[in-house]
Chains A and B, each alone.
Chain A
Amino acid sequence: MSPDASAAKPTPQGQVSLTIDGKPVIVPQGTTIFDAARLNGIPIPTLCHQQNENPVGVCRVCVVDVGGRVYAASCIRQVDPNMVVKTNTQPLEDVRKTLLELLMADHPSPCTRQKHSGDCELERLAADAHIDHIPFAKRTTPRGHDDSSLSIAVDHEACILCDRCIRGCDYIRNNWVLARRGKGYQAGISFDLNDPMGDSSCVSCGECMVSCPTGALTNKAIVGQKLEGEAVNTDFLLELPVFKNVSGNFLSLNRHAIVERRFKAGDIICREGEFGYSAFYILEGTVDIYLSTPMAHVKTQDASEGWMQKLRSFLTPRSNQPGHEHHGRTSIPIDANVDLPLDKPIAQLGAGELFGEMTCMSYYPRSATVRAKTDCVMLEMLRNVLDIMQRNKSFREQLERTYKQRALDSHLKSVPVLASLTPEFIAHLKERVELIRYLPGQIICQQGDPADGFYLVRLGFVKVSQHHPGGEVVLAYLAKGSYFGEMAFLLNSPRMATCTALDHVEVVRIPGDDFRLMLEQFPDIRQKLEAVAHEHIESNRQRMALVESVPVEQFLNQGLMEAQSLLVLDLDRCTRCDQCVRACADAHDGVTRLVRDGLRFDKYLVATSCRSCRDPLCMVGCPVGSIRRRNSLEIVIEDWCIGCGQCANNCPYGNINMHPFPVQIEDSEHPGRMIATTKPKATGCDLCTDHAEPSCVYACPHDAAHRVNPPIFFAELLKQGTPATQGAPVEGRD
């Protein structure tokens, strides 16, 4: 054989000469066969390879013959000098066809993508290979769908495990949410711990979806959430520092999820208590953010006037009421980077600031009313776009900077026990604190671990729980303005409880050393913290003592153990006369807060009224932190309740009612004029604290209604062996 053309002229340094399908080619060293062929106009089919990702060679559709024992995946195999590559022999075509038949055997053809846009890469290759009959058996075990994400639909049936989405998520976007799970024929893609996509730490960046060759990951149309306003040009967004490095491709796919809004001075942008699903980013202008609800509490008229007459509820500031402990607060936490002073609940936000994060991420009601102070330009966005923004490094940096400059000071001071911090020390802390984000379900600190920091909640809700042999016990839910992590420092012990993010949480972390320094420099803070800590420890101790000493299984099953105080009706005595219900209605402006129905325990009916639960779910999600527990464990609703109804929705026992009352508010159409309207406020059973005895108990003509402390009451019952519950062992029967 005569020397071929490439051997005749020397190959330049750093270049490799080879033959592809008989064509001599010269390419730089390190080039893959796939690229060498592509650069020379020889296309090789592939499914798992795309130009912007590192090759993995898993679909094997791109195999070529390089004269070896087996074929080589051209996407990952680098060229060797004098290699002879064949890309289109009949045996190669046959192998590719078999591979496509194998994939098509389990493919839900036509898949979502093929149906929508006709460009499923697998189905296209199969059509090109004239595959019309699949000789293999179909999969018999379903692989499932996942519709939990807001923006992306997952059809595992259509997944060919090409790993393109995984590489996109992990290496291109650095999100590391996607990975393979399982092994062999059972393998699939999974999010985090094989969580539903919507519950995972996925930020909806869309990279997986744009990487997917089939209909396994497709863009969901945004249903039910429509934004008014002008669509924004993707290029314009990408120029904003907050969107630097974001995938333009995905922004343009989600162009309906971010719009530009213009407001004139005086326009209301959103109202407190409304439900919403968007966040606002201010591009130009200033807004006022305030509470328009009067600072007052629903109060039913006093019994001294006799309660057979028609009564009315009215509003009274709690501070005017005798006998209420001082809550110590000076500010109201809201869903923005500022707190509102309690005495004058108004603040301003300007360009570059964001509000409505919690509404947008976790669908909490709006925490405050926002009104344009000057003419404003804003971006209003849905959750998927906010996700992208919050994950963006440059946005995070900006957020952290503004927080430290503007909000840290007031945030620290809003916590009553920390009120005495000096400006010097706060300045010191500014250099030290960090803002950390946690996803729903993520653990912030774990029981038993050494203490390394003190945390203030900035956004979202944190669940504090302890692990006991019988299971997890929830100690508290913490919202913005609360703190945790101090106990371990005060007692010099490991963490005493596990703190978990309940939704999208952001905390301010003060490093351990700085917290210790603070305790040293401010003995009064130490004292106050210690006092609160001891109270917590004591109440936990009592609770645990009860859990351990009472045969409480059934009791726990009914959630009764959660209650601090119960209204029980003795069914042996009760004649169902409903006097208790009437008495309650009479005492509360004609609206009863008691329903004579509920769980049964032995001969007792646990009527529906506030139980002052140990796991007070009602406290989760209050956008302004106005529902809280007093030290006496009674649940109270503070004056600044904005009437959104979140707590009423959350109470699993239906014990919180929304109570409308008339108010005068400013007419947004005609600034300066007041109009009359009604506003709701949340009310719960107040135990008729102004009476010697709750009205319902007082009114019962049969002595069947009792207010009891459940652990003590039921423990007594159980000890006597009275409850003849089914299946319980009965001893000494004759």
Chain B
Amino acid sequence: MYEELRAIQRQYGYLPADQLRALSSKINVHLSQIHAVASFYPHFHLTPPPKVDMRVCSDMSCHLCGADEVKAALENQFRGASEKDVTIREVSCLGRCDQGPAVMLNDTIYAQIGPQDAIGMAREALAGRPLPHPKHKHGRTPATCDPYNGTGQYEVVKRFVEKRDWQEIIATLKTAKLRGMGGAGFPTGLKWELVHNAPAPKYIVCNADESEPGTIKDRHIMENVPYLVLEGMIVAGLVTGAHKGFLYIRHEYENAKEILQEELDRAYKMGVLGPRVMGSDLSFDLEIFVSPGGYICGEESALIEAIEGHRAEPRNKPPFPGQVGGGLWGRPTVVNNVESFSLATVILSRGLEWYQAQGKNGSVGVKFVGLSGDVNRPGIFEVPMGITYSELIYEYAGGIPGGKKLLGYAPSGPSSGYLPASKADLPLDWDRLAAEGSMVGSGAIVICAEGRCMLDMALNSTRFYRNESCGKCVPCRMGSQKMVDMLKGWTEGRSSKNDMQVLKELSTAMGLASICGLGQIVPAPIQSILKHFPEVVDDHLVRRHCPGGVCFTQAGMQ
């Protein structure tokens, strides 16, 4: 259905009602169902878009890079403009966290846009002049862990076709303790084994929908070592007995999609995909599925719903995707993150010994992490597990601009909550972070320097969840909004003496009763601030003072 909707949108610029009616009879899907889907995904416009549809990314990294100034400058410039001409809105993380602030102008993404750039581009668009093509990096950054030195050889697929030893592969992954790299950290070997033991038909899904603020490492992997992802998926398919795979990529990653498509075509030509993998009796097909958009699609059961053409609303679990009834079209399905599939290829190709030799301070393995926010060299780095966060900040990312001191950091975007500077020497280690009530997660490390307001950062993170909540269940839909209301009040000088108690109850209810991880994790940012930065909250609530000078700007005017 998405392709049909996209075709209509390409032709008309939006989805006119009569076209949707015609589509309804053409594809035999009820009108209400088409609308339910089209109104869910931000990618689709149900009304004619304005000449300038400017959306400014407002989440974590871009927020730290001055997105608010960009938005304010635009609003100032186009104050009084008709809504048919110009609309300026916020948009959730566009996946350009290393190049903030990012904007989306008439559905095209531009990175590193300052206030004047944004105004200039909006003026061009308003005048009907063509917009520049967004710049993409050319050439590839080699990965140290890449066993193929830049060109995919698909050696693991070849070896499996010859030996057919699925036990060995699963055992290797289990011994390597490879975990899900999307954030949840479920053991990959165990996941593959469960699906191997489940009845056919089965599916492989690669979750390349990374949409959490700060998370950009999958984009890096897909753009630089795409063959590692594809090979991981093919091996998973052959090992579990699945014959079809989908690589679910967020629609903001056009460049990565093109690179993957090229590699996919090459893999078909090489014969590692198709009805006879490497000339054997094994078959596996793979296609790239472009997401219609939204952070929630990264939740594995929501992602499955999206592929099935529904609203991306997470399912009640169990059954889990690996079980009958829980996966794609109800079939057992392996859903792994881009990095998990890639590292599986690395481990199976270079061997267990090599992998176990990687890592520092008693941790094992390698990881791709993204560093953004207040650092001199934001970017994606391939690092050994066990490395400390301060090493990452000061050695890899070049330290903090202006020689400022570290105030705090999020090890994995909003989901991990924030840790204070005093905990910067923690190692990149699943168990150590978990012991701190945080997580390694997807390695979306966002740095806040002194002068930032951590309460403002918590509000920013909570707003992200509120904006991205699918709305299916009450605690998340209502709770995220009410939490934003409360925190916004705190930053504007409105609070009541019961707030702490109410926030505690709300956090508990959301954490325990929400259907999926998104709703359960909404309280994490503010709870981490209450735990690690209590003085900041006190400053706001008791002294009505923002140490960062960020809050009370509106209250001050009143």
Contact across chains for A70 and B511 when beta carbons are under 8 A apart: yes
Q: Chain B residues with Cβ under 8 A from A181's Cβ?
A: 35-36, 39-40
Verify if A236 is at the interface (C-beta below 8 Å from B).
no
Contact across chains for B485 and A177 when beta carbons are under 8 A apart: no
Contact across chains for B316 and A446 when beta carbons are under 8 A apart: no
**Known interface pairs A70-B512, A71-B513. Does A182 touch B39 (Cβ–Cβ under 8 Å)?**
yes
Q: Chain A residues with Cβ under 8 A from B467's Cβ?
A: 184
Verify if A240 is at the interface (C-beta below 8 Å from B).
no
Contact across chains for A102 and B32 when beta carbons are under 8 A apart: no
Give complex CA distance A44, B32 in Å. 32
Distance to closest chain B CB from A22 (angstroms):
21
Q: Which of B30, B472, B486, B508 contacts A58 (CB 8 A)?
A: B472
Verify if A313 is at the interface (C-beta below 8 Å from B).
no
Contact across chains for B35 and A184 when beta carbons are under 8 A apart: no
Verify if B106 is at the interface (C-beta below 8 Å from A).
no
Q: Chain A residues with Cβ under 8 A from B515's Cβ?
A: 57-58, 60, 73
Interface locus among A185-193, A255-263, A680-688, A707-715: A185-193
Q: Chain A residues with Cβ under 8 A from B311's Cβ?
A: 180, 183
Contact across chains for B470 and A446 when beta carbons are under 8 A apart: no
Verify if A95 is at the interface (C-beta below 8 Å from B).
yes
Contact across chains for A179 and B21 when beta carbons are under 8 A apart: no
Distance to closest chain A CB from B515 (angstroms):
7
Verify if A379 is at the interface (C-beta below 8 Å from B).
no
Q: Chain A residues with Cβ under 8 A from B468's Cβ?
A: 184
Interface locus among B221-229, B443-451, B474-482: B474-482
Verify if A99 is at the interface (C-beta below 8 Å from B).
yes
Verify if A644 is at the interface (C-beta below 8 Å from B).
no
Number of interface residues of B (CB under 8 A): 52
Q: Chain A residues with Cβ under 8 A from B485's Cβ?
A: 136-137
Q: What 1/0 flags go to B495-539 for Cβ under 8 Å of A? A: 000100010011011011111000010000000000000000000
Contact across chains for A176 and B509 when beta carbons are under 8 A apart: no
Verify if A59 is at the interface (C-beta below 8 Å from B).
yes
Contact across chains for A182 and B40 when beta carbons are under 8 A apart: yes
Contact across chains for A71 and B512 when beta carbons are under 8 A apart: yes
Q: Chain B residues with Cβ under 8 A from A433's Cβ?
A: none
**Known interface pairs A73-B316, A95-B512. Does A192 touch B35 (Cβ–Cβ under 8 Å)?**
yes
Contact across chains for A102 and B316 when beta carbons are under 8 A apart: no
Verify if B20 is at the interface (C-beta below 8 Å from A).
yes
Q: For window 451-502 of chain B, which residues contact chain A by CB distance below 8 Å?
A: 466-475, 477-482, 485-486, 489, 498, 502
Contact across chains for A136 and B502 when beta carbons are under 8 A apart: yes
Contact across chains for A99 and B477 when beta carbons are under 8 A apart: no
Contact across chains for B475 and A102 when beta carbons are under 8 A apart: yes
Verify if A161 is at the interface (C-beta below 8 Å from B).
yes
Q: For window 188-210 of chain A, which residues contact chain B by CB distance below 8 Å?
A: 190-194, 201
Interface residues on A, range: 35 or more
Give complex CA distance A187, B466 in Å. 12
Q: Which of A60, A160, A500 has most B Cβ within 10 Å?
A: A60
Q: Chain B residues with Cβ under 8 A from A370's Cβ?
A: none
Verify if A443 is at the interface (C-beta below 8 Å from B).
yes
Contact across chains for A137 and B21 when beta carbons are under 8 A apart: no
A-B contact pairs, 21 of them (CB 8 A): A58-B472, A63-B512, A70-B520, A94-B505, A102-B478, A105-B478, A136-B485, A161-B474, A177-B30, A178-B32, A179-B33, A179-B35, A182-B39, A183-B470, A184-B468, A186-B471, A187-B471, A193-B20, A441-B21, A442-B21, A443-B18
Verify if A526 is at the interface (C-beta below 8 Å from B).
no
Pairs of residues from A and B, 10 with the lowest C-beta to C-beta distance, nearest first: A187-B471, A179-B36, A176-B30, A102-B478, A98-B509, A179-B32, A137-B485, A184-B469, A136-B482, A60-B513
Closest to B520 in A: A70
Q: Which of A99, A177, A179, A183 contacts B474 (CB 8 A)?
A: A99
Closest to A137 in B: B485
Q: Which of B33, B471, B475 contacts A182 (CB 8 A)?
A: B471
Closest to A73 in B: B316
Q: Chain A residues with Cβ under 8 A from B39's Cβ?
A: 181-183, 190, 194
**Known interface pairs A63-B513, A70-B513, A136-B485. Does A193 touch B473 (Cβ–Cβ under 8 Å)?**
no
Contact across chains for B32 and A190 when beta carbons are under 8 A apart: yes
Contact across chains for B316 and A57 when beta carbons are under 8 A apart: yes
Q: Chain B residues with Cβ under 8 A from A176's Cβ?
A: 30-33
Give complex CA distance A94, B501 in Å. 12
Give complex CA distance A180, B489 in Å. 30
Q: Which of A91, A95, A105 has most B Cβ within 10 Å?
A: A95
Verify if A76 is at the interface (C-beta below 8 Å from B).
yes
Contact across chains for A184 and B513 when beta carbons are under 8 A apart: no
Contact across chains for A60 and B475 when beta carbons are under 8 A apart: yes
Give complex CA distance A56, B473 in Å. 10
Closest to A135 in B: B502
Distance to closest chain A CB from B396 (angstroms):
33
Give complex CA distance A399, B343 in Å. 65
Distance to closest chain B CB from A155 (angstroms):
18
Q: For window 511-541 of chain A, which residues contact chain B by CB distance below 8 Å?
A: none
Q: Chain A residues with Cβ under 8 A from B509's Cβ?
A: 94-95, 98-99, 102
Q: Chain B residues with Cβ under 8 A from A136's Cβ?
A: 482, 485-486, 502
Q: What 1/0 flags go to A358-381 for Cβ under 8 Å of B? A: 000000000000000000000000
Q: What 1/0 flags go to A303-338 for Cβ under 8 Å of B? A: 000000000000000000000000000000000000
Q: What 1/0 flags go to B30-71 for Cβ under 8 Å of A? A: 111111100110100010000000000000000000000000
A60-B514, A183-B470 known; 16 new pairs, CB 8 Å cut-off, are A60-B473, A60-B475, A70-B511, A91-B508, A99-B509, A102-B474, A102-B506, A161-B474, A177-B30, A181-B36, A182-B40, A184-B480, A185-B477, A442-B21, A443-B21, A443-B25
Closest to B35 in A: A193
Give complex CA distance A63, B467 in Å. 25
Contact across chains for A103 and B520 when beta carbons are under 8 A apart: no
Q: Which of A99, A194, A442 contacts B35 (CB 8 A)?
A: A194
Give complex CA distance A176, B28 in Å. 12
Q: For window 325-353 of chain B, which residues contact chain A by CB distance below 8 Å?
A: none
Q: Which of B466, B469, B471, B475 contacts A99 (CB 8 A)?
A: B475
Give complex CA distance A446, B489 in Å. 53
Verify if A679 is at the interface (C-beta below 8 Å from B).
no
Q: Which of A98, A103, A179 has most B Cβ within 10 Å?
A: A98
Verify if B22 is at the interface (C-beta below 8 Å from A).
yes
Verify if A173 is at the interface (C-beta below 8 Å from B).
no
Give complex CA distance A192, B32 in Å. 4
Verify if A106 is at the interface (C-beta below 8 Å from B).
yes
Give complex CA distance A500, B25 in Å. 13
Q: Chain B residues with Cβ under 8 A from A61's Cβ?
A: 474
Q: Which of B18, B316, B478, B513 contacts A103 (CB 8 A)?
A: B478
Closest to A194 in B: B35
**Known interface pairs A95-B508, A194-B35. Does A185 touch B513 (Cβ–Cβ under 8 Å)?**
no
Verify if A77 is at the interface (C-beta below 8 Å from B).
yes
Verify if B232 is at the interface (C-beta below 8 Å from A).
no
Give complex CA distance A97, B30 in Å. 37
Q: For window 117-168 of chain A, which residues contact chain B by CB distance below 8 Å?
A: 135-137, 160-161
Q: Chain B residues with Cβ under 8 A from A498's Cβ?
A: 18
Give complex CA distance A17, B478 in Å. 36
Distance to closest chain B CB from A411 (angstroms):
24
Give complex CA distance A187, B18 in Å. 23
Contact across chains for A58 and B22 when beta carbons are under 8 A apart: no
Q: Chain B residues with Cβ under 8 A from A73's Cβ?
A: 316, 515
Q: Which of A58, A77, A185 contacts B473 (CB 8 A)?
A: A58
Q: What 1/0 flags go to A413-442 for Cβ under 8 Å of B? A: 000000000000000000000000000011
**Known interface pairs A63-B512, A95-B508, A194-B39. Does A185 touch B466 (Cβ–Cβ under 8 Å)?**
yes
Q: Which of B18, B25, B316, B514 contacts A77 (CB 8 A)?
A: B316
Contact across chains for A106 and B478 when beta carbons are under 8 A apart: yes
Q: Chain B residues with Cβ under 8 A from A183's Cβ?
A: 39-40, 42, 294, 311, 469-471
Contact across chains for A76 and B471 when beta carbons are under 8 A apart: no
Verify if B7 is at the interface (C-beta below 8 Å from A).
no
Give complex CA distance A40, B87 in Å. 58
Q: Chain B residues with Cβ under 8 A from A186's Cβ?
A: 471
